[in-house]
Structure 1
Amino acid sequence: MRTRARNFVAALVAGLLATPLAACGGNDRVGADGFTIGLLLPNRSAPRWEHFDRPLIEKRLRDLCPRCDLEYANADNDATRQQQQMASMITKGVRVLVLDAADTRALRSSIQQARAAGVPVIAYDRLAEGPISGYVSFDGAQVGKLQAEALLKAMGDRANDGNVVMMNGDPTSANASWFRKGALSVLTGKVNIRRSYDTQGWSMDNAHANMSAAIAALGPGRIDGVLAANDTMAAGVIAALKSAQVRRLPPVTGQDADLDAVRRIIKGEQLMTVYKPFPVEAAAAAAMAVALGRGESLRDIATTTIDSPTTNNIPTVLLTPRAVTAANIRQTLVKDRVYTIEQICTSQLRPACAKAGLDVHGATE
């Protein structure tokens, strides 16, 4: 991949959220130009897709184009099903598709079919192969770097030749290799990566099985850190460590700021997660979809370009992720209203929450 950054990223991101209709004309134009947008998400195993991305995209589309309709489908980690869903939406006459591919290579032929039918496709969160018209995501290399930096810091002296297990994402996702490369740019030469696993479907069960294999091979007391690519897999890793009766859990990373993961961070079971401000990503995707549906250029929306294995100079919005630990949950997730303190701090967690500066009784958020 190659990116060419422009100089107005910050202004664009602010504008996407602050000016609902600025990029898409006035109300008269919106009312006269309703059409259908298709949204295809990859799975339900990661809570973010149904809990955050879908409702945020739906809301933003309503803001930008009140007379537009949304056709929605979830692939449940089945690329063939997603291909069928895309074909059905094209047949029904959607004008533009927002696609988070269950398999970024397998969907290439479907994206080509969409292009042949005159339906532009926006790759959402994962860069699919084929003639993509736009792409919105977070900097995957930076995600991996944030995870690896936090892991090294938590390992302390054990970071010098300590034993690390890498629990990578699904090999069919371009993001998985992006995250891994970012992490390796930090970890290589500083720790011993004793085991590295690809995790089909980003699945908790598969991560549990892989971690159990690593424990059997290395011994329960000889794992100094685990770089888990997302929170769902972190849950499987931690469950496997507990099943092996590991009394002192090694630091375990995550991604996506799932509520259960935030609670594990408060409890001290998970080291950190990577927070990707979903409203900004959803806003950019919705703005691209409405613009393309009206036959407009993405020049005023895209902040950079990216090359995929098949397509060059894809107009892109590439956003910045943030690391979240127990020390900054209030300043990140609570401040951005992702969760309230009351949602995070169950009755059992209140002592730990108070220690982390999340006092339920004093909460005003």
Structure 2
Amino acid sequence: MSFLRRTDARRAPSRGWVRVGTAMAAGALLLASAGCSGGDSSSGSGDAVKIGLVTKTDSNPFFVNIREAAQAQAEKSGAEVVALAGKFDGDNEGQVAAIENLVSQGVKGILITPNSSSGILNAIKQARDAGVVVIALDTATEPEDAVDATFATDNKQAGVFQGKWVKATLGDKEPKTIMLDGTPGGTVDTFRHDGFLEGMGLKEGDPAIVGQENTNGDQTKAQTAMENLLQRAGDVNSLYTINEPAAAGAYEAIKAAGKEDQVTIASIDGSCTGVENVKKGVIGATVMQFPGKMAEQGVDAVVKFAKDGEKPSGFNDTGSQLITDKPADGVESKDTSWGAENCWG
């Protein structure tokens, strides 16, 4: 988004976490940052609670916001954060190696945004068996109880908000919808997709869905996908996008085809760039998430566990809010002025 790029889804580690050195040498994981309250994370900080953070990538502004919020919240508590990331969205092996690395460093808890909701399970189990509390941020594992707790957007509900707004905006028009999905296998992708269909009042395979493509939440891939889909479904009047980078890429294709006044576009993210694109009319509406809250609440939960042994549990909704300057009857929303005051990135 200047348009964000979110490039915004397996096996058990060997005994004793011995694959860490090899994985790091091969570049399977990136040291995104190591923030702490006084001192280098590699040498520790006395009695400070050490918290591991593993994000999907280290460059996407969504995950940068999570990392910065986690570090700031940890500093308030005298804790330290060691932040690692996969090389790309979908780098499950990099995240497995990151978990092994963090356990070997003696962290009390690990916060993770899983690249694969099921592929990371063995590494998570090894960490929990070693006494580490593991919390999913943003993306739930499958099954959800593979981690101690999840702090995330209710992505199904966010998709419902998205779909309801599109349906209300279309009014009496019969929907002819293209769906630009994310990465197969991720719970975020599935929940948002299903929620959008529910909000639209559609079922999977409905004839109203005139085109569908996976984009990995990447702007360039979304633009190419939309260009191809427009050749087969030029009468499209509504567009679901997995995130704002996908919406931005799709808009470029739609604009080049001269159909920007024909297609109603909705998305999910709530970045400052995305809110600005809603204001400009690039996106009709977006559903804002609050990644900083995910990180802050996750850090607080690990610190509490370290102090009194109480583990967090269950799914904890960090909220979502539809943002648009074109409010629709029956769909609660905030305008872009509110969005600009509350956005991230």
Q: What range describes the TM-score normalised by the shorter chain of this pair?
A: 0.7 to 0.9
By how many angstroms is 1:233 displaced? 1.0
2:160 corresponds, among 140, 145, 149, to: 145
Distance in 2 separating the partners of 1:85 and 1:297: 25
1:122 aligns with 2:128: no
Tell me the residue number matched to 1:36: 50
Map 1:90-169; keep pairs closer than 5 Å: 90-129=103-142, 131-158=146-173, 161-169=174-182
Structure 1 counterpart SS, 2:83: strand
Q: Deviations over 1:170-199 (max 9, x none)?
A: 212111111111111122349811122233
Distance in 2 separating the partners of 1:125 and 1:268: 27
Tell me the amino acid that sits aligned with residue 85 of structure 1.
A
Tell me the residue number matched to 1:209: 224
Identity %: 20
- Residue 38 of structure 1 contacts residue 71 of structure 1 at CA under 8 Å; is this kept in 2? yes
Distance in 2 separating the partners of 1:330 and 1:33: 44
Tell me the residue number matched to 1:69: 80
By how many angstroms is 1:157 displaced? 2.8
1:274 aligns with 2:283: no
Task: Give the 3 Å change call, closer, same or farther, for CA 295–209 of structure 1 in structure 2.
Answer: farther
- Residue 281 of structure 1 contacts residue 319 of structure 1 at CA under 8 Å; is this kept in 2? yes
Task: Give the 3 Å change call, closer, same or farther, for CA 142–45 of structure 1 in structure 2.
Answer: farther
- Structure 1: where are the runs of 5+ without partners? 1-30, 303-313, 340-365
- Residue 284 of structure 1 contacts residue 317 of structure 1 at CA under 8 Å; is this kept in 2? no
Distance in 2 separating the partners of 1:278 and 1:117: 28
1:292 corresponds, among 282, 305, 323, to: 305
Distance in 2 separating the partners of 1:234 and 1:197: 13
TM-score scaled to structure 1, two decimals? 0.72
Structure 2 counterpart SS, 1:88: helix
Aligned residues: 287
Q: Deviations over 1:70-107 (max 9, x none)?
A: 11012132111111111111112212100001111111
Tell me the amino acid that sits aligned with residue 66 of structure 2.
D
By how many angstroms is 1:331 displaced? 5.3
Distance in 2 separating the partners of 1:171 and 1:239: 24
Map 1:1-365; keep pairs closer than 5 Å: 33-43=47-57, 46-50=60-64, 52-63=65-76, 65-66=77-78, 68-75=79-86, 76-77=88-89, 78-129=91-142, 131-158=146-173, 161-189=174-202, 192-200=208-216, 202-219=217-234, 222-298=235-311, 314-326=313-325, 328-329=334-335, 332-336=338-342, 338=344
Structure 1 counterpart SS, 2:270: coil
Tell me the amino acid that sits aligned with residue 316 of structure 2.
V
- Greater than 6 Å deviation, 4+ residue runs: none
Distance in 2 separating the partners of 1:282 and 1:209: 33
Give the aligned CA root-mean-square deviation in angstroms. Answer: 2.4
Q: Deviations over 1:253-273 (max 9, x none)?
A: 111112222222111121111
Structure 2 counterpart SS, 1:252: strand
Task: Give the 3 Å change call, closer, same or farther, for CA 154–266 of structure 1 in structure 2.
Answer: same
Task: Give the 3 Å change call, closer, same or farther, for CA 337–203 of structure 1 in structure 2.
Answer: closer
Structure 1 counterpart SS, 2:212: strand
Task: Give the 3 Å change call, closer, same or farther, for CA 46–325 of structure 1 in structure 2.
Answer: farther
Structure 2 counterpart SS, 1:254: strand
TM-score scaled to structure 2, two decimals? 0.76
- Residue 160 of structure 2 contacts residue 198 of structure 2 at CA under 8 Å; is this kept in 1? yes
By how many angstroms is 1:295 displaced? 4.9
By how many angstroms is 1:335 displaced? 4.0
